[in-house]
Amino acid sequence: MVVAFLLSLADRGASQGVIRPTGPGVTAAPSASDAPYQPAEPTAHYGSYPVACDSLRALVRRALGRWSHLAGWRRTREPFRFVLNEGADTTIAVPCLRMSYAHHDSTAPGYDEIEGRLRQAGWTIDDRYDADGTDGTVFVLLCREAMVEIDARWEGGDDSDTTYVPPPGQSLTLRCVPRFPRHVP
């Protein structure tokens, strides 16, 4: 008998393992994890996508504090890949509030301060968009009207060289788009 180990993320940074027996003659009962993934419903509610964008901008400004002048904001229309469920996704052009921010100072706030501020305001993580590596992270947070993709990059260095100390700093791109499907014009 082969044992398959499936990992489901209940929340960013926390995991729970599910073990299911598989193999000839083994029939597994359907489980809750077989249902399509649905992110937790956010408590952040602004009434419309434009108001959600304005609120996001204010939350990010507070998270960055005295460094907020380094953030460049612009409204665009650009392609965004919406992950709907297992393997199903679609890319469409949508309104977008884009922010670019970079610093090279170890005392400057980064993506974790922005994520913390948004979570405190009731935004929730959508694990379908998570990607982490030694040189950065990408994740999506949701409010009821919008979703914000945060793409953070830094110099991660060489994992095999224990003497290398990467320089401080981060480069962030934030993209806020309407939620799919009901909020996409």
**Residue pLDDT, tens place only, 42-51:** 999 999 999 9
Q: How far is CA 131 from CA 1, 63, 115, 136, in A?
A: 32, 22, 15, 8
Query: Under 8 Å CB-to-CB from 47, ≥6 apart: which residues?
Result: 145
Average pLDDT over residues 152-181: 86
Confirm whether 184 is domain-assigned. no
pLDDT at 183: 45
pTM for the complete prediction? Answer: 0.75
Instruction: Give the pLDDT of residue 80.
Output: 95
* Residue 127 exposed, middle or buried by CB count within 10 Å (0-12, 13-18, 19+): middle
Q: Are residues 77 and 157 in the same domain?
A: yes
| Average pLDDT of the residues of the chain | 81
- Which pLDDT band holds residue 33 (cuts at 50, 70, 90)? low
Are 83 and 10 in the same domain?
no
Residues 23 and 57 in one domain: no
* Residues 102 and 169 placed together within one structural domain of the fold: yes
Same domain? For 60 and 27 the reply is no
Segment among 83-87, 114-118, 150-154, 159-163 with least mean pLDDT = 83-87
Q: Tokens for 35, please give them.
A: 């249902």
Matching residue, tokens 């935004």? 123
39, part of any domain:
no
Task: Say which residue the tokens 């981060």 belong to.
Answer: 170
- Give the pLDDT band of residue 23 (cuts 50, 70, 90): very low
| Mean pLDDT along residues 7-14 | 36
Residue 145: is its pLDDT beyond 90? yes
> In this model, does residue 141 exceed pLDDT 70?
yes
Instruction: Say yes or no to pLDDT of 105 above 70.
Output: yes
Q: What is the number of other CB atoms lying within 10 angstroms of the CB of residue 180? A: 16
151: domain range?
Answer: 49-178
Same-domain pairing of 109 and 56: yes
Q: Are residues 83 and 134 in the same domain?
A: yes
Statement to judge: residues 22 and 64 lie in one domain:
no
